Structures are given as structure tokens and as C-alpha cells.
Structure 1
């Protein structure tokens, strides 16, 4: 059985890394175990952040929080809820879609840059990260950033670590900014649009001064699996508005009037809106208990429907769209078709395709992340060598 280390302090974690460096023992960093993409290599030992838990500081007036990396996300969100504050980027919970268990951690959220439907207007997880403490591959404790939005090093270590999947360092503590919880929310549903028409409707909505905070398109194949069947018949193009009740009422009327030229328009109340966008965030239609390949594709909003249309000519695929069409969730019916998918991603202008789910042997044989261009790969290698010269950190952190 692979040894699992659970240090209870940053100092203990640093000593473990120092010992591993001396013995050249690979380390696989683990948070809550909810986002694993592949098994750790043979011979690697697991370094868990579970013992590095607890909220260090919370300043509601300045809307910042500092927490140790292993702090369960639910603990962070419960503390924020008491002050009606939230994480702006809506961290996704993919346990259902990935068939995983465990408890998501705040360090895992930032290590995987887990960002939900509000990401295209509020930024990704990394954009909320202000500071981080971490242990590098030499076993040294390093602090980057702080509790204000300032970078004094000339190299933004905070942004480098966010989304690094534990391949650069062990994050031990994170400081991040917050936003107030909106007073209310509503969703405008435009029914009956095909994928291309939905892309045009969402682009029109985003160009308006109504502050849309969520824009997604749910084809007929998935529409009935959202919001407990509360969505009208036909495809559903959904647009979320949030804020003060009076403002939301005015903006929703303006948006509905504009969308009426695209198709039939209905409104969802705040409770149904919350459920719908939580399910969009967590990829609920594909939490189907199967190993059918699941891809997360980031692409230009106007290109998402073109990608899916091209794929449907050659492979069995189901899909829905978030981020105004810029995030495509693709479920393949049989093989991952990695080469085909990435060829079409390049053909429609480029993007990033990440294989999140497949049978273990398929994951092991497939490039999970989009292959990097030669120049980017060379830069990544230099960054890796700077953080982790011995190459100790061998796997992606699971949150």
C-alpha cells in the first residue's frame, strides 16, 4: 500500500519534503481526494493536506479570508454564509460526475482552479487568490502575496500555483477575496433555440447593460435533467441576473424584452435559479455513474457549437454549454476520441480540452491535459525546475 503522510503543521510538512528530497522519493499531493485524474506513479508516496486545516483569519469588512489548505470547503462556505459573503467564482463540486468521494478542500479548489458559472464575468479561482504559503521541492517554506492585492516580487507566484494541480509545490495556506451574496436572483429562459441560435442570443445578452452573471445553453438531450424538470419543453438557453431585488426586476424585464425576438421567454424564481445553476456548476446531467469519457473544453464562446457540430459527424457525443458557450461539457458515448477532439479544437480556433473521466486504463493511456506548444512547454519546464528541482511532486492535486 502506498504510504500516506498527514502532517499536522507546515513545519512537519516541510520536514517530510526535505526527507523525500534526500531519498529521491516522489510525492503525490492529495487534498480531499475528490478530483483525481490518474493514479500516482509507482513508488510515489502520498502527502495529504488533511491535517493542515482551519480558518486562520477572516475579515468580513475587508472581504478577505485566510485558511489552511486542508480546510474543508464546506467549513469555509459555512463561515461565509453567516456574514452573507461568498466565493465569487462558484467552485464546482465534481464528485457526482467523477464518481469520487472525499471532502473538497479550499487548497484543492485553488490548486485545480475549480471555477463555476460566474467565472466568465467574475474571474476564475486564481483571480480571487491574494496570497499563498507553500513548501517547495527543497522543503523550504515560502510566502507569496498577502492579504491585499499586490505583487512585489516581479513574478506572480500566486497565479503560478493556482491551477498547478500540485505539480509545483505543496500549498499550506491560502488568502483569498470574497464578495457579498446577492439579495436575490432570477433566470431568464429562452426556449427552442438550436446551438447556433443560442450562441447568438447569449452574445446579445452579454452585450447589454443588464449584468448577466450566468449564461448557458442546455440542449434537449440534457434539459430535462436540470432543475427537477422545471424548465419549459424544448432546448433551454438560460441567463442569470443577480443583485438587489428592485434592480433585478428592472433588468430582467429589459433582458426578457430583448430575448423575445429569439424565442419564447419564461422566468425562474430565486429558489429554482439557485438549484439550476448549482446543477450546471456541478455537471449534474453527467453524474450518471458510468465511466463514459467526460471532457471539459474551454474555447471561444462563438466556437463551442461549431466544435460540437463537427464532432457529431464522426462520434457519438452529448454536450451542454456554460460561460456563454466558452465552456463545453462533452460526454462521449464510447471512446474518448482524444485525437479527433483536439484536432477539431485546433480547427475552430484553439482551446483546451481536459479529459476528466474515463476507464482507468484509458486515462492512463491518454494525455489528460491539452498538449502544450513547444515554447510553452519549455517555459513550464523552467518553472517546474525552479519550484521543484528534483521533480518530487509527481501528480496533480485532488481537491
Structure 2
């Protein structure tokens, strides 16, 4: 059976929902048609940074603006009621998607980063102090690392980092040593955006809970491409972003166990999050609204729900199988090419991305050359500078895949990487 025949759904039919994939790229954007390679088909392999948005989701957002654009929770007129219902039901959709108990456990944020900051400021500043510690990992995204680092500086809490092995996995013996009775929070990325490592969240949660610590999992790279159940994972907090999973930018979600969120004070103050205000004091709205101050991202929230419905129609088991197929194929083909160093676990044991370097070629130069072939990848440290320092490289190129990518696109990537290797040989 050919690799293409192993697709778990009709990828070509699905690509029709993403008109941007039909773009031709290259040449001078100021003078279309005059630059070299202006008719090169786009091969979009930067999905870990942001995915594309299918027409059904775009249509849902447009329908809000065209048909019932109004503020939520602010009026009794029909448009406001319709918008409020759609926005609230979007919380229900997100809650169901990740196995939360209900909308009370889902706070809409701008993105995963804001979700991390919400917990760090609303919980961390109140609960952490000298003698406490927060345990992270060396593969954390800056959204987690920098946030807890700065909270540690403000509170006097120690910030510890679980080692990463040479194969790109967490050293669980080190984790067991670092997580102790003074640990208050373990914050860990579910799937590394650089290494592709799928971390053992359940095992880490057990370690943390044995010491009465909370667990915050960064799901930005896991929720888009695999089924996630926060209750089964055993996490206390979990965050992810819509724009990496066929949704709009500017909207993400924080899952938090209801009893913890209920005990926390708001992170932002203002309209819509209050119940009663006097000149002397204020009281807060019920969950999740007490954490959603001001006019929220209404259209984006409704679009978020539409993106989830789109993914559910395909089936997350099929999305995961497709990602696994592409990641393993890309890992194996790039390895066979020679002169390419790939970071992280083997191809059959990683999320849908491959970070690599070509011998003698800086990652930025490689990305520029690939762009000439119409191939969009990310080059840099991917917001994991300390991890790159540990790996001994300044930057890597990262190809990341999603449900609309094909084997032929990976073949194009491998061929172009080979051309770049030979060019600098």
C-alpha cells in the first residue's frame, strides 16, 4: 500500500475548504508576476505557528457580523440576546471538546499565553512565597517559562527545570526529584513545539498531586491534532489557542477545575465581570464571566466553536492519524537525505512537527531558500531559547503539519532541503 493510500480521510476534498492553499507565491509582492518563482504553489508547513481557517469557520464569523452583531450580556434587545446565547454556547462547545464539566470551567482568553498569565497572576501572586517552588521543564515555551520565572522573582518562589534527555524526552527521574512537598505548581508543555515530544502529563500529574501541587498543561500543540480529555489527564489547568486549530486569531481557552477558579480572584477588572458595584467595594460575576472583563472577543469565540465543530466532523482520531503519518514520513525522509540533524524523539513517537538543521546552513538561510520553492517553514528558536541553548544551536528550521498537508508536500520539502544542502556543500 502506498503512503498516500494510508490517509485517514479525503485530504484533497478537504483542501477545497482552504482557498489560501491554492495561492502561488514567490517573486516581488510589489510587482506580481515579475519576480522569479511567482507561479510557485504554496506549501504551507508552518502550522505550529498558526493554522489556516476553513471557509465554514470564516462564514460563521462573517454571519455574526452580518446578522446579529451586538455586545453580549449588555442588552435585552434581540440581537444582544442572540449574540449572548451564541457566545455562551461556544463555551459549552469548547468544554465538551476537552472533557470539562461545563462552561464554568472554560475561560476565554486571547491565547494560550494570556491563559498562562491569568493563572500566574490571579493564583501565583496570591499563593506563592519564599520556600515554595514551581517546576517547569527545559522544553517550555516562553509563555510558560518567562511567566513563571517573573512570578518567581516577585514572590520569592524557586523555579526549577526538569532535564531533557539527549533523545528529547523528559527525564522522569529528575522530575521525581524536583517535585517535592514545597512544590505548588508543575507547568509543562503537553507537546513540545520544538522537539515534537509528547509528554506524559498523567504521570506528571500523579507526581504533583502526591505532593498536593497543581498541574498546568500547555496544550497549544496538542489540542489541534489529538483528542484531549482534561479529566483523564488529571490536570488542574489546561490552555490552548483557536488559531492553531482552524479557528480565528485572538481567542484561546483556559480550562480550570471549577473549585480552583472559584477560589481565585479576578485577573482583570471592569465591565461584565461584576455583579454589584458600590463606591466602597464590588462583587464578582459567576464563572467563567468573572475572568472575562470588558467586551470579549465575541466573533472569535463563536468562530472558535465553529472550528471545533469542523474538526469533530472529520474526527480527532483521524486528524491524529494523519499528523502521525506525516510526521513519521517527514522524519524518515529527511533522515535518509543525509546531512540533516533532526531534534527530538523518533518519527513514530512525536507530534506533527520536525525541527532540524542542515549541515553548514543556518536555519534562517535555509528558510529563505525554502521560501524560493514556495515552502513556508519557521526558522528561529520557536520561543524556546533556553532549550536551543541546551541543544547547542542558535536556531532550527521547523516544518509543522496539519490536516490539509500531503505526502507530496513533504516530498517537495525534502527535495528543496536537498537542494539547499548541495548549494552550501
* TM-score category, normalised to shorter length: under 0.3
Structure whose CA Rg is larger: 2
Normalising to structure 2: TM-score of the pair? Answer: 0.24
Higher strand share: 1
Higher helix share: 2
